[in-house]
Amino acid sequence: MQIAFIKCHGSGNDFPLIDARAMALSDAQWAQLARALADRNGPVGGDGILLLTKGNDRAAFGMRMLNPDGSEAETCLNGLRCTARLGFELLGVDRASVQLKTSLAEVARDPELAPGVVTIRTQVGPASLATGDVGLKIDAAELVDAPIPGFPSERRFTAVAMPNPHLVTFVDTVDEAELVALGDWCEAAPALIPGRANVSFVAMQDGGLFVRTYERGVGLTNSCGSAMAASTFAAGLTGRIGFGAAVTVFNRGGMVRASATAPQDGALVTIRGNASFVYDATIAFDPATGAIGAPLVHNRRFDEAQAWDALLESLK
């Protein structure tokens, strides 16, 4: 069968994006496709795949995100912006509720971050501090800026569910080797956190935050939208930024602008960031074997790539 997709990215977090509303693949087949399409050694590559799905009585459309290992994430906020843009274009709307795996998100078009950079605003939450929601098997009901008993690090973490699980620690400088070691430990599904978790090291930078994340099911990634949201919320909880104040969140892939509300005000996180389309293509996929062919690119969106590159250059 032929699969049409758009290669897209949000803040450097890149994905093949598929309009799956009329497609009848099983979960196992979608997982096969994710492993093939998102394979960095394959013909496309990505931090996972995004599926635009049918809406329901609460949402205009839905989104699924599958990681490169075939597992499904509760959410992906960089991917949500890209999926929302496609939904807007197909349905002719500028704002909507979106059904995620376990929650709803509000999305809307927003003024451009820079000329030619399509920008989408997302609001998600409430963020949860319950260690049970994060999947931590510890006695404490919440973990805010404290060591994790049994974790192979003495650093102080904040545990946040967005609703996917995040462990956030603030550092003076990001030690990638240390981050990868902790991420690998979590990825092995230890008894302490059997559902695994995203691990982020966060440093203060130019009055904002710099976030580096080991993403569950992905590994070390240039950008993770839900990690940037969790880090913004954790920065508010620990007094590093003010709740309600807009902050620039940097990552290896670029930047977004974010703000969070306090727990008593809903624990919501709003992110404004790009939803850039790179090219449109089709690819052959054999559901029986999981094999894919070479992609046929129909349209390269050079103007969007150039606009994003100009924004990155301005950040330097």
Residues known to be catalytic: 76, 224
Q: State how far the Cα of 194 lies from the Cα of 135, in Å rounded to an integer.
A: 7
Q: Are 189 and 210 in contact (CB under 8 A)?
A: no
For residue 263, which phi and psi values (nearest 5 degrees)?
-55, -40
What is the total residue count of the chain? 316
Q: What are phi and psi of 274, to 5 degrees?
A: -75, 155
Which amino acid is located at 218 in the chain? V
Phi/psi at 228 (5° precision): -65, -35
Ramachandran bin of 159, using left for φ above 0, alpha for ψ from -120 to 50, beta for the remaining angles? beta
CA-closest candidate to residue 44, choices 217, 260, 284, 240 = 284
How many CA atoms lie within 13 Å of 196's alpha carbon, on the beta-carbon side?
A: 17
Beta partners for 200?
168, 213
Q: What is the largest CA-CA distance in the chain?
A: 54
